[in-house]
Structure 1
Amino acid sequence: MRAGLAISATVVLGVAVTVASAVPAVAGSRVVPGPDGARVEVATASGTGCSLGSVYAGLSEDADLMYLNNSVSAQAGAGSSPSQSRRYCQVSLRMTVPEGFTYGIVSSTYRGYAQIQEGARAIVNANHSFSSGSAFFRHAVLGPIDGPWEFTGRWPNDEILWKQCDDLRNFETRSELSVELGSSDRSKLSSISIGEGTGLANHDYQLAWKTCP
């Protein structure tokens, strides 16, 4: 295996429920720096790979970056059970925003560690959404690899997924990992994780801010 090899990629994929939610600021509003007083907290967390209390969220000092820490892992081979080959974590984030502002997602970065045998692969499926729109990203990690992986998902043409000013619902995010043995030696373990072996936050959401009309 290629020990310590870092896999990095940028994925430009996105499916919007409402196309207008993915465009830059509309008339009557303007893009501004992150406001003081913004904060984020985990409202709920559930899934086969996480639970409430095991997930943490926060904002950078300038409110331009929202980060999420949770540990999800999947594995196959070496006697692993079928249920271990696919794990997911769904998190609902409650963002407190000062009056007169709203925010949007510019890009999302995911990172973790993979030990994948030759002939096997792991799939990372990630999505996030507001009530006004959503984005979905898919990334493949191919064996052989024994090292960190990372990818960044962006909207086409650098568009932004904005939360509507009157939308009081939470920001929803889901990450899913799966391992497929393919032609690899089934007696050997292939595994992938989000948030282990990197020393960094495992989800980063680059934020943009604008005033509400």
Structure 2
Amino acid sequence: MLLRALAATGVATSLFGSSAFGGSPPPPPDRIVIDSVAATGSGCPTGTASVAVSPDNTAFTVTYSNYLARVGPGASPTDFQKDCQLNLSVHVPGGFTYAIVSAGYNGFASLAPGASGTQRASYHFQGDPRTTNSTHHFKGGFNNDWQTSDTVDVAALVFAPCGEERSLDIDTQLQVERGTSSPNATSLMEMDSTDGRINTVYRLALKQCH
């Protein structure tokens, strides 16, 4: 079994090194194609999330324009937590399947002293009981851009079954807790870049099936 990592800029060498397997086979001639994407959740209302595929079709970028969790004056009781589920139908070359290798997230947070923020993500193939989870915490007194990344060890990668096509669910969540901060203080956390958008890049991997 041979794993090949596909970076956003192109095909990388074998994760185990080419010498152990007598050289790496060329990548499949067909391209990975994202057939359809559906976004649902309080953090990605209709029309506020979009997906773009990289030029070499080995990664895709999710852009959010209204993904914000907050507490404080003017916030509703449900604003402290927002989530978004992306359901993707992905076609891969015959004889290969795919899994998430890494994911990067960017945004902005303004957390009053005593408050806290949390960013979570989970990755799950429909019909498969296995789920990969990650959690990142931010302490109060933070007022800056934030960036997190998830890296899954090769041995823990969750691959779609060979010869089958399954949708991939990517669930993300932002949560802000008031904690011991003043009731009059506003704390917020958003997946949003400085130009009002957030790009979340998911890199894919291919595993040759036998």
What TM-score, normalized to structure 2? 0.77
| Match 1:174 to one of 151, 171, 179 | 171
1:110 aligns with 2:116: no
Residue number in structure 2 paired with 1:44: 38
Aligned residue for 1:162, secondary structure, equals coil
Residue number in structure 1 paired with 2:51: 57
- Structure scoring higher RCO (CA < 8 A, sep ≥ 6) equals 1
Residue number in structure 2 paired with 1:125: 120
Unaligned runs of 5+ in 2: 1-15, 17-23
Paired residues of 2:37 and 2:51 also in contact (CA < 8 A)? no
Aligned residue for 2:78, secondary structure, equals helix
Letter in 2 for 1:47: G
Shift of 1:183: 1.1
Give identity over the alignment, percent. 29
The structure-2 alpha-carbon separation of the partners of 1:151 and 1:187, relative to structure 1 and needing over 3 Å to count, comes to same
Distance in 1 (CA, whole Å) between partners of 2:138 and 2:25 is 36
| Match 2:200 to one of 193, 200, 203 | 203
Aligned residue for 2:124, secondary structure, equals strand
1:146 aligns with 2:143: yes
Instruction: Count residues with an aligned counterpart.
Output: 185
| Match 1:91 to one of 65, 86, 91 | 86
Shift of 1:197: 2.4
Unaligned runs of 5+ in 1: 1-23, 25-29
The structure-2 alpha-carbon separation of the partners of 1:32 and 1:66, relative to structure 1 and needing over 3 Å to count, comes to farther
Shift of 1:148: 1.0
The structure-2 alpha-carbon separation of the partners of 1:146 and 1:98, relative to structure 1 and needing over 3 Å to count, comes to same
Aligned residue for 2:108, secondary structure, equals strand
Shift of 1:171: 0.8
Distance in 1 (CA, whole Å) between partners of 2:175 and 2:135 is 11
Point out the structure with max Rg over C-alpha.
2
Distance in 2 (CA, whole Å) between partners of 1:145 and 1:88 is 21
Paired residues of 2:118 and 2:175 also in contact (CA < 8 A)? yes
TM-superposition CA deviations, 1:134-189 (whole Å, max 9, x none): 21111111121221111111224664222222332211011111110111122121
Residue number in structure 1 paired with 2:188: 191
Aligned residue for 2:70, secondary structure, equals strand
Letter in 2 for 1:164: P
Paired residues of 2:64 and 2:197 also in contact (CA < 8 A)? no
What TM-score, normalized to structure 1? 0.76
Deviates more, 1:31-40 or 1:79-88: 31-40
Distance in 2 (CA, whole Å) between partners of 1:193 and 1:155 is 24
The structure-2 alpha-carbon separation of the partners of 1:42 and 1:121, relative to structure 1 and needing over 3 Å to count, comes to farther
Shift of 1:200: 6.8
